[in-house]
Structure 1
Amino acid sequence: MGLLNFLFGNKNNAITEFKEKGAIIIDVRTPGEYQQGAIAGSKNIPLQTINTKIDYIKKLNKPVITCCASGGRSANAAKILKTNNIEATNGGGWKSYRGNYNFRLSSSSVLVIGLLLYCSVQPKELVKI
């Protein structure tokens, strides 16, 4: 256990506890970012609108794990939710959950992955057009 985990707690432990309580995942990225890929079953409520959704989130009556691209916006969202008496924790960047959740990918992402597999092309070999 590292010093920061000892002082501030382990984020993974908090997330595991929240998952055991049936937490919902709120992805606070923009709709455009969310459409590029997200955790299956997550709800997209952009950080800019989360204050207007407090009543809706309270009615869900579940703890909340917030996530975004890197963890900055989700930290702000978790703080806003806690200020409004909603049990919340910052889950950080959504891609860090790859082994723990099913992902929803956009149709264009699926098409690109399919083409890469079909052509056996390595992503680094692709040239941006």
Structure 2
Amino acid sequence: MSAPTTVNSHELDQMLTSATPPRVIDVRTPGEFETAHIAGSYNVPLDMLREHRDEIVQHLDQEVVLVCRSGQRATQAEATLREAGLCNVHILDGGITAWEAKGFSVNRGTQRWDLERQVRLVAGSIVLTSVLGSIAAPKLKWVAGAIGGGLTFAALSDTCAMGMMLAKLPYNRGAACDAQTVVSRLVER
């Protein structure tokens, strides 16, 4: 299988103003999407895309550009769509972070912390608490070790169980985002 095709922010901007603009699919959580997203993009969270890929792929007949915070989840989404037979898929290099850094506009809503920042807060808090708590209860140090092991596995496997769990919290859910609504929005265009 060939390497994923990426487009940079300038290329995507040109594609969006062309006669046949691509569908921009943002695979971040609804909460992250509400915070900032590229105008005209569709929010299809990664877990929903994986679960309903065959249904979604039926409505993607033009070029598709996948967006997430930095490119990691978009790469996973690209592999999912390619497995379903979709070949016209690209990834925004550097994600929404690079898009904003290059000065391109986004639609802004309620400000929330990025999922990655939430993972750092939770993991760091658990490690700090367990290390300090190990003064009184020495076995608590193993909790810190387990979190370290989990973070190491997350880096090696390019997945994050803690991030997937945090994405399910009401804070990260944002507006209702279900498969039927997503598909109906894709069909409308």
Structure 1, unpaired ranges of 5+: 1-7, 110-129
- Between the aligned residues of both structures, percent identity stands at 25
Shift of 1:11: 3.8
The residue that corresponds to 2:36 in the other structure is: 37
Structure 2, unpaired ranges of 5+: 112-189
The answer to whether the aligner puts 1:12 opposite 2:8 as a matched pair is yes
The answer to whether the aligner puts 1:88 opposite 2:89 as a matched pair is yes
1:104 pairs with 92, 95, 107, which one? 107
Alignment partner of 1:49: what SS?
helix
Distance 2:84 2:105 in 1: 29
Query: Is the Cα contact below 8 Å between 1:28 and 1:77 reproduced in 2?
Result: yes
Query: Is the Cα contact below 8 Å between 2:6 and 2:91 reproduced in 1?
Result: no
2:41 partner letter: S
Runs of 4+ off more than 6 Å: none
Distance 1:83 1:62 in 2: 17
Distance 1:104 1:60 in 2: 23
Bigger mean CA offset, 66-75 vs 83-92? 83-92
Distance 1:33 1:9 in 2: 24
Distance 1:74 1:89 in 2: 9
Distance 1:10 1:65 in 2: 8
Name the structure where strand makes up a greater proportion of residues. 1
Query: Is the Cα contact below 8 Å between 1:40 and 1:101 reproduced in 2?
Result: no
| TM-score, normalised by the number of residues in structure 1 | 0.63
The residue that corresponds to 2:150 in the other structure is: none
